[in-house]
Structure 1
Amino acid sequence: MWIDTHCHLDAHEFGAESLAVAKQAAAQGVDMIVIPAVEKANFSIVKQLADTAPNACYALGIHPIYVPQASEDDLVFMRQQVEQAMADPRYVAIGEIGLDFFIPMLCEPQMREKQIHFLREQLKIARDFSLPVLCHVRKSQDQVLKHVRQIPPAGGIAHAFNGSFQQAQGFIDVGFKLGFGGAMTFTRALQIRRLATELPLSSIVLETDAPDISPAWVHPGRNSPDQIPRIAAVLAELRGIDIGEVASATAANACASLPRMQPTAFVSPA
């Protein structure tokens, strides 16, 4: 079983092909694709995709890149939507949320504070509904971890992790898994490959972040969830283990971090 724990299947790069892309992934053994929302405007879109694709589920959240145009009303709307979604078996998490201190505009003092406010308010929603979170942690691992410790959700995933071993351990200690994907396939990505090799396998989940973060053999083209098995093969090679062990461990880790997700309940028999 393969699980893509982070895929923006609704992105404009997929156009009208989103369902075909999901089916192609299923044909490659990808039994579940987690589609995180990024703003209020695409909440209904990710839900509709998850309702339509037999191997998809979804999360609701406001991404830090979309915080500049977001309002307090969006947070109120999000809480309402989460409350309604709790009856939906395909709804699995709060996400994508977090902090981004890489983009210069988002690093300006006023925008940093707004990002932090939106992260904390969304962590409160996760806490109140006992939900895990999908966290964006670009150049912000320590800061995200600080707020997660103060407002603990029911676990989660540090998406596209690229921090230190100490930061990795911090997330593991609060019950998070760490997402690895296409970046790990580049031989020059020495730190990410060291993390993927030396961290406990029990702490790792697979992701694509499609259509972004394409693996080496696709770059600079469009990433897609059907790349998960080949990305996993790189992880198996780095760790010197059988790919079957990677499949079973990463799927179990994904289900542990997103306990509402039940892949076998959604995938149609072949």
Structure 2
Amino acid sequence: MTPLFDTHCHLDFDDFAADRVAVLERAEAAGITRIMVPGTHAHSALKIESNTIRVQRSFGLHPYFIEAHQQSHIDWLEAQLDQHPTAPVGEIGLDATCSDYDLQCKLFEAHLALAARYQRCVILHHRKTQPDLLMRIKQVRDQLPDCGGVLHAFSGSYEQAKQWYELGFKLGVGGTITYSRAQKTRAAIGSIALDALVLETDAPDMPVAGQQGQRNEPAQVVTVLQSLLDLREEDEAIIRRQLWQSSCQLFGSAND
């Protein structure tokens, strides 16, 4: 059976400090063989090792930490891209619930300029900012790689999903679709082209239905997959294979 790739998991957060090895063991038991750990701030580079799961990293300045970011951190980011020739740029984006939106926009533009220069895909964060993000991505889309990146934690309508797909972006499918009340997002994920989708947990955040208030972890990607299977018409084998191929298109083949 095709393995699973958790394309967005903050395994480096302190939430996992006490039992990170056990978390990885449970992920392995769930069939996960690759995990992408997005960067959130400068100098965050905890080394995570596993004999069975390939743990990859990206580098970016997350809007949640906007008060800690400095313009000089862009120089740090560029140094990381020099040292890691396949690392994506992210987690980056815009968040209407965070402070200093002007600075968020300036840093976001600087991130996109680096992504274009180094030809790296981007991992996008959004909260009440999809139209603004979409506009800014459209302005630079022809400068980014063919697979531009992934809109992490997609929630929204089919029309929104289609706009991102037509720009060559993947949609991060996480715990949101496990909630029956998320009807608009579930309908969009069930209808959009299968090759638009990749799985993610956003662990330790975004717990699946029934586990509100609990720490999320990568093994729960199986729960997300089950909800996805319920929403799609394709066979499980076809869905698993396409999810893996789309994830590798974003973040490199198994041999990269």
TM-score by length of 2: 0.92
Q: Give yes or no for the alignment of 1:144 onto 2:138.
A: no
Residue 132 of structure 1 corresponds to: 121
C-alpha contact 2:24 2:50 (8 A) present in aligned 1: no
Q: Distance in 1 between matches of 2:65 and 2:57?
A: 18
Residue 65 of structure 2 corresponds to: 66
Question: Is there any run of 5+ residues in structure 2 with no aligned partner, and where?
Answer: none
- 1:25 is matched by which residue type in structure 2? A
Residue 262 of structure 1 corresponds to: 253
Question: Is there any run of 5+ residues in structure 1 with no aligned partner, and where?
Answer: none
Match of 1:26, SS state, is: helix
Which of 29, 32, 36 does residue 38 from structure 2 map onto? 36
Q: Distance in 1 between matches of 2:217 and 2:68?
A: 28
Residue 207 of structure 1 corresponds to: 200
| TM-aligned CA deviation for residue 163 of structure 1 | 2.5
Q: Deviations over 1:171-208 (max 9, x none)?
A: 11221000111111011111111111111111111100
| TM-aligned CA deviation for residue 230 of structure 1 | 2.3
Which of 164, 169, 190 does residue 162 from structure 2 map onto? 169
Q: Distance in 2 between matches of 1:246 and 1:214?
A: 22
Query: Quick one: percent identity of the two aligned structures?
Result: 30
Say if 1:50 and 1:141 are closer, same or farther in 2 by CA, change over 3 A: farther
- 1:96 is matched by which residue type in structure 2? E
C-alpha contact 2:91 2:123 (8 A) present in aligned 1: yes
C-alpha contact 1:8 1:36 (8 A) present in aligned 2: yes
Matches within 5 A, 1:87-166: 91-101=86-96, 103=97, 105-106=98-99, 111-152=100-141, 153-154=144-145, 155-166=148-159
C-alpha contact 2:157 2:185 (8 A) present in aligned 1: no
Residue 5 of structure 1 corresponds to: 7
Say if 1:250 and 1:69 are closer, same or farther in 2 by CA, change over 3 A: same
C-alpha contact 2:35 2:53 (8 A) present in aligned 1: no
Q: Distance in 2 between matches of 1:51 and 1:94?
A: 23
Residue 216 of structure 1 corresponds to: 209
Q: Which moved more, 1:50-59 or 1:169-178?
A: 50-59
C-alpha contact 2:158 2:185 (8 A) present in aligned 1: no
Q: Give yes or no for the alignment of 1:235 onto 2:237.
A: no
- 2:176 is matched by which residue type in structure 1? A
Match of 2:33, SS state, is: strand
| TM-aligned CA deviation for residue 68 of structure 1 | 2.3
Q: Distance in 2 between matches of 1:53 and 1:94?
A: 25
Q: Deviations over 1:52-88 (max 9, x none)?
A: 77321110000011122211111111111211111xx
Q: Deviations over 1:139-185 (max 9, x none)?
A: 11111111112223321000001123222222112210001111110
- 1:205 is matched by which residue type in structure 2? V
Q: Distance in 2 between matches of 1:3 and 1:147?
A: 28
Q: Distance in 2 between matches of 1:50 and 1:250?
A: 24
Match of 1:49, SS state, is: coil
C-alpha contact 1:13 1:211 (8 A) present in aligned 2: yes
C-alpha contact 2:93 2:126 (8 A) present in aligned 1: yes
Say if 1:245 and 1:26 are closer, same or farther in 2 by CA, change over 3 A: same
